[in-house]
Structure 1
Amino acid sequence: MSTVDAPSATRAPLFFISYSRAPVGRATGKPAEYVSRFFEDLSVHVSELVGPVTGVDAGFLDTSIAGGERWSPELLQAAGTCQVFVPLVSSALIGSDWCGREWDAFSRRRIIPRHSSASVHETAIVPVTWSPTNGAVLPRVLRDIQRFSPTAMPDPDIAVRYQRDGVYGLLTMQWENEYRAVVWRLAQRIVAIHRSYLVEPWVPADMDELCNRFAEGPG
């Protein structure tokens, strides 16, 4: 397995958003707008919680149109140096070879606890329910990891609505307060992982080194 060392001068994202990109010609509209807003809001909260960190960006979102294009060096670098991997779970993500390879890039990296009280079983992968996947056959890697579920909410119905409809559903139905609460709790979860674990960098030289982890079948 060949690797490329992460250049020290390159800024590493604290979190990496993995999502199913729209096909060519369909990269605009509400789904793209909602992903962009979610990323921006999450980045603001994470930045507020961690403060300025030298050489670190709050997050990374690839806005290029996928569909068989070769991965950019920027994307490879981000997938190989980010500290928390946040896949936006949807039926489209499950069927995405691209997203399955992003998962593989992150999951190959070694996770080191920063202190003795940190669990040795942390994956630093935080799947977020983006839209309902009712009836879909989930890949084994996704079934093996607990999805993000917000806790200590001001109203227990917020968590119920998020789990049922996803972030996309909250935005679509204009449940603004519920959406804001979920994103805030997610930012806190990302920062908690960052403060408890170090994910060692491993930057693949090319996407051909990676496999689609979603193609491994259901658990």
Structure 2
Amino acid sequence: MSASERTAAQAKTDHIAKMGEEIGTIYSALWQEVAWIHKKWAQYVALFGTNPERINLLNQAAPSMIRTVQDTLWEDVLLHLARLTDPPKSMGKANLSVRQLAALLASSPIGTKVESLTATTLAACEFARDWRNRRLAHRDLDLALGQSVQPLAPASRAVVKASLASLEELLNAVSLYYLDSTTFFDLGPGGEDAVSLLYLLRDGLRFRDDRIARIKRGEHRPDDFEREAL
């Protein structure tokens, strides 16, 4: 670990020291959540939102499983956005959300600014809350049966990206005031693990094609018909 890197525990300690126990604890937990959703989104984009060649490669390897991964990761990101914008309390229990942080900062010097940025974030993430409420966490009967007169809110990679940007701006407004620093949560093209997987799949498919070609030419090797247990 370099001198500029900190563990989550070290960052939390610093946040509490400069923001106070309650605000620092909530901010630190939200920072981890926003960093994690950006990481998941980078993996999704690396696999499914970069170019058609990558999707074609994935479909050559395992189309049914890949579709399941794509849908699951997409839905998980939407659920994460919805959670991050939940009310401060629901069913009598407190929630970790940006609205919880905004409530704690209401009487602070940046309370008005945080309130405005929180409203912007809620608007940006409203589509995810609609998906969560009527399809992902609950299954609206009329919608499931195709009888709903109100379609789900439009959802796209562009909308998700805008939602993530609003979360980043909100947290950075708080950190700029208390910590005199900001965080670049979106570091551009990422998903290094996802890209590594793509290279492994490409090499594996090439190996498979070479093996099939050898067998067709009658030049097969003994191990061409063996499959080791995993």
TM-score by length of 2: 0.28
Which entry has the higher C-alpha Rg, 1 or 2?
Answer: 2
More strand by share: 1
More helix by share: 2
